[in-house]
Amino acid sequence: MKILVIGAGPAGLIFASQMKQAKPDWDISIAEKNTQEEVPGWGVVLPGRPPRHPANPLSYLEQPELLNPQFIEEFKLVHNNQPNLMSTGITLCGVERRALVQALRAKCVAAGITINYETPLASTAQLEAEYDLVVVSNGVNHKSVELPPALTPQIDFGRNKYIWYGTKQRFDQMNLVFRSNANGIFIGHAYKYSDTMSTFIVECDEQTYAKAELEMRSESQVAAYLAKTFEAELGEHELISQPGQGWRTFMDLGHDLAYDGKFVLIGDALQSGHFSIGHGTTMAVTVALLLVKTLSAEADTAAALENFNSRVVPLVQLFKNHANSSRLWFESVGERIGLSNEDLTASFDARRNNFPPLQDALMGTLGYALGR
């Protein structure tokens, strides 16, 4: 079996390394459009303590402690300048995205998988002729690969603007901070991901963005303005930006079909969901493991992909319902900003209650994928 994986992010890397482990004689290679050094983004939170949690990609590394993971047990909501402290319910693991991706890449290379960086892709017809299977894991960069028409994504853009910073301030809890000023409401999402660094994401609606004239300001002026807005949290610490990580609008990408012919989608290429539920990498790992299981269990690739599709589509739908509900809650927070701390916290907690728990569906899929 000759497989090409498009995209060396968490989804493609977990798929490739675990597939190679299950089928050592299969020929697996990865094409990555960026250079080896280029891994955008700061820290992410993952579920559980490695090696125990199967959806935490660190669980698949021999020495996860080398990535300096930070464990988080508490959630802090700050509103009206007052903190509300709660348990996160499950241990969360903050880690630098770049360190995680580089460690997974090293694992793939050690297993005999070639990663070709900065290589232009062949046409769909050429890929079909050359490979038995093409695993598309190029994230939300859907325009970067030509796919069969049946795999054209449904795309929806969020209404809020967000910007992803790093900071040397340490946030020991998962922080959700609401700060209002004359221009509107700014929401900060912050958590530690190494001994010295934290992620700090700022979100605001388009009116606030326009009123604060953020478009007219330089990168450093925006960072200074937001650091001042969140001065109570950041103290003297700066917000540090990365090249190419300016203001964005969240892109919700989805599919009703996970494969067509020899092309199969995993990770954000299959579905993306708002960062406020923090499950993007968990979904990427779970779906990659499910694909490994279905391909390992079934000699006929078409039947394996049909089995994969029938299991993954309901999971993706549930994930999207949770993520969209959460995104909409943040986009309409102005309607609730007059609530007390307790009532805002209760509303935040209840924002995904209309749907069956995502955790149960993820654990069910992981149980099947790992044969438990």
Ligand X SMILES: Cc1cc2nc3c(=O)[nH]c(=O)nc-3n(C[C@H](O)[C@H](O)[C@H](O)COP(=O)(O)OP(=O)(O)OC[C@H]3O[C@@H](n4cnc5c(N)ncnc54)[C@H](O)[C@@H]3O)c2cc1C
Cα separation, 367 vs 359, whole angstroms: 12
Closest CA to 225 of 257, 255, 247: 247
CA angle 332, 338, 342 (to 5 degrees): 95
Q: Which residue, 245 or 341, has its beta carbon nearer to ligand X?
A: 245
DSSP designation for 217: S
Verify binding: residue 44, ligand X, rule CB under 6 A.
yes
Shortest reach from residue 53's CB to ligand X, in Å: 12
Q: Which residue in 15, 60, 131, 164 binds ligand X (CB under 6 A)?
A: 164
Shortest reach from residue 340's CB to ligand X, in Å: 28
What residues numbered 138-157 form the site for ligand X, per CB under 6 A? 138-139, 141, 144-145
Q: Which residue in 21, 34, 114, 196 binds ligand X (CB under 6 A)?
A: 34
Verify binding: residue 281, ligand X, rule CB under 6 A.
yes
Find the helix packing angle between 10-22 and 97-110, rounded to 10°.
30
Q: Which residue, 35 or 82, has its beta carbon nearer to ligand X?
A: 35
Verify binding: residue 108, ligand X, rule CB under 6 A.
no
DSSP designation for 275: G
Verify binding: residue 289, ligand X, rule CB under 6 A.
no
Q: Which residue in 57, 153, 254, 278 binds ligand X (CB under 6 A)?
A: 278
Please state the separation of Cα 316 from the chain's center in Å: 14
Shortest reach from residue 39's CB to ligand X, in Å: 7
Amino acid letter, residue 247: W
Verify binding: residue 203, ligand X, rule CB under 6 A.
no
CA angle 342, 343, 346 (to 5 degrees): 85
Strands (E), the chain: 2-6, 27-32, 43-47, 70-79, 82-96, 114-117, 133-136, 154-167, 174-181, 184-192, 198-204, 248-254, 259-260, 263-265
Q: Which residue, 137 or 229, has its beta carbon nearer to ligand X?
A: 137
Cα separation, 289 vs 190, whole angstroms: 29
Verify binding: residue 137, ligand X, rule CB under 6 A.
yes
Dig out the tokens for 146 from the structure. 């030509």
Cα separation, 58 vs 53, whole angstroms: 9
Shortest reach from residue 187's CB to ligand X, in Å: 12
Point out which span in 21-29, 44-52, 56-64, 348-356 binds ligand X (CB under 6 A). Answer: 44-52
CB 59 within 8 A of CB 47: no
Verify binding: residue 363, ligand X, rule CB under 6 A.
no
Verify binding: residue 254, ligand X, rule CB under 6 A.
no
Q: Which residue in 45, 147, 264, 291 binds ligand X (CB under 6 A)?
A: 45
Give the CB-side neighbour count of residue 356, counting CA atoms within 13 A: 10
Verify binding: residue 133, ligand X, rule CB under 6 A.
no
Shortest reach from residue 241's CB to ligand X, in Å: 13
Point out which span in 25-33, 212-220, 227-235, 307-315 binds ligand X (CB under 6 A). Answer: 25-33
Verify binding: residue 6, ligand X, rule CB under 6 A.
yes
Strand-pair category, 184-192 with 133-136? unpaired
Q: Which residue, 46 or 289, has its beta carbon nearer to ligand X?
A: 46
Shortest reach from residue 147's CB to ligand X, in Å: 10
Verify binding: residue 10, ligand X, rule CB under 6 A.
yes
Dig out the tokens for 314 from the structure. 């309901």
Verify binding: residue 57, ligand X, rule CB under 6 A.
no
Peptide bond into 51 cis (omega under 30): yes
Give the CB-side neighbour count of residue 1, counting CA atoms within 13 A: 23
Shortest reach from residue 88's CB to ligand X, in Å: 12
Verify binding: residue 188, ligand X, rule CB under 6 A.
no
Verify binding: residue 263, ligand X, rule CB under 6 A.
no
Dig out the tokens for 83 from the structure. 């903190």
Instruction: Give me the residues that bind ligand X (CB under 6 A), please.
Output: 6-12, 31-34, 44-46, 121, 137-139, 141, 144-145, 164, 201, 267-269, 275, 278-282, 284
